[in-house]
Structure 1
Amino acid sequence: MEIIHENEYLYRMNKEAEPYLELHRQEKYVSNAENFIRGKNKDFSRKIHIQYYLAKNPRGVIVISHGFTEGSPKYDEMIYYFLKAGYHVYMPEHMGHGLSYRLTADPSLVHVDIWKRYVRDFLKVCREIKGTHPDLPLILFAHSMGGAIGGISASWEPGLFQKIILSSPMIRPLTGKVPWPLVVLIAHFECFFGKAQKYVAGQKLYDGGESFETCAGTSESRFERYDKIRRAHKELQTCAASYGWLLAAIKMSWYLQIWGWKKIKVPVLFFQAENDDFVSVRALKRFAGKVKQQGSSSCKYIYMPGTKHEIYCSDDSSMEKYLKQIFRFLEIDAQEIY
């Protein structure tokens, strides 16, 4: 698989990938799921933003479920590869991210009132995509928080996706030096006493101060491109979690590990980064083992040496291995793409 190499990354993204994506890009907004669940107090201003790209002779549809604090432009390179491989690509932005609706006016803060909101919204989008392309297989590509949302979505509606790719999925978030049981207690305590929209201790406003050394990828050119875009767009400057989001992450983790794994019935490809400071590798391995053990579907686990949490923002060598495994899972000969 020929990737866009780091020594020419910014040039080729600017001169080749971005014009190609712009030619194929469309966007729309859809009402959130809440308006169809509740019979009153509907708020039709709450909409989910979706960018989508249509291939000429599609072999399937890939829907991307992004991670915590991310926005659509971060996945431009992956979208480019999927589109060139002959897939329609849909990129919805989860509530509280990008141009989708938010429950707080603070542009730095990611807040959610209940974890099921993420799943309901995402499933509504995926059902609409499936309805638009009923004859094409729907494939999930999900990273980190998006892996939790996507994994639960697949367990709620086992027949929706034909294949699932989980890249560093948030089966359980890491919590630094604070023990997990204490984090659970703190999140419940703060939310119970009306502080759900407060910043989690240690989180702060966006200040543009992230550096390559502290980022979650291993490619400096890939980091620099998105960092520049992020600085210029306020809607991409989410960077902090509320206690409400933390409690939602805890409950998604519980659901996945207790019930969710039992209901996944399609082939799954798991990717684990060597150095991950954001999600629990032990929880990921345990979850993948359960999915594989139940035997309802094939399950492949890929360990990616030399990578960090955002495997899709890795150095050239890792990116080549990453994409090779993805396209092999999708049963595509890489020579077909270029």
Structure 2
Amino acid sequence: MPRPRVLLPLLASALTSVLVLAGCGGVSPGTSKDRPVVLTTFTVLQDMAQNVAGDHLTVRSITKPGAEIHGYEPTPGDVAKASEADLILDNGLNLELWFSQFVESADVPHVVVSEGIEPMDITGDAYAGKPNPHAWMSPTNAQVYVDNMVTAFSDLDPDHAADYAARGAAYKAQLQGVQDDLVSELSALPENQRALVTCEGAFSYLARDAGLTEHYIWPVNAEQQATPQQISAVIDTVRAEGIPAVFCESTVSDAPMQQVVGATGARFGGTLYVDSLSASDGPVPTYLDLLRHDADTIVAGLTGGAA
């Protein structure tokens, strides 16, 4: 059963109390006895931040691998995590509305890592003017995230600023490599195969960068379940455009997309990862693995190859 929404203000109040007590004595994070603690809202940001931080910072995530980020409900244990942080990183773009009260109550530096990115709007009248939060799904945008992390970590720990800059530059080169490979592999596809059909509209930035047309069943995981009208609209699109394959994300059921497969004869191209990494023994234990997995799965699905 979902936790009552009234829990959020209570948790925020508890967080304020914890932070006040933490400031009254003892060893605070970031002293010579402890590395500074960076808290992120989900596992993708945690892994990106760890690549920039190296061994100089301890990076933690509020949510665990496999978690659905949009509708996450904070727990009392999250209060303790926030109280230990020296810096909080979140995505912004309305992704972590559940965490806003923590950020507002905590006397901890806070950085929105999507700052500086030109957001794409979620399509549809119900979402007019609302940004699509999944900016990290563009390897190009991800490099802006890295720059913001380098700046934030250098401010937090100036003694290691040169290391953060060097690690950030190396990581950005890897991200650009994924982007270049994806564009190259998709460039030869016929027009009708240059379409990405998914359950959630989480791939707007990736589709834009890769020259793909995006279609989806529902705009945002947290706000809608699939309706017959939404499924019917995607079926019509797949049939009309002769789209060869469709996909779904790891954190939701693919049953609605399987209805599209059954009605159109399109292949189910595979599972894509967006909001969360897998466990360490899973298919996408790192953010670079996530990008490469999704790129390979999309290319294989649309070309009829094997991922």
Structure-2-length-normalised TM-score: 0.32
Q: Which has the larger radius of gyration?
A: 2
Write 1 or 2 for the structure with the bigger share of strand.
Answer: 1
Structure-1-length-normalised TM-score: 0.30
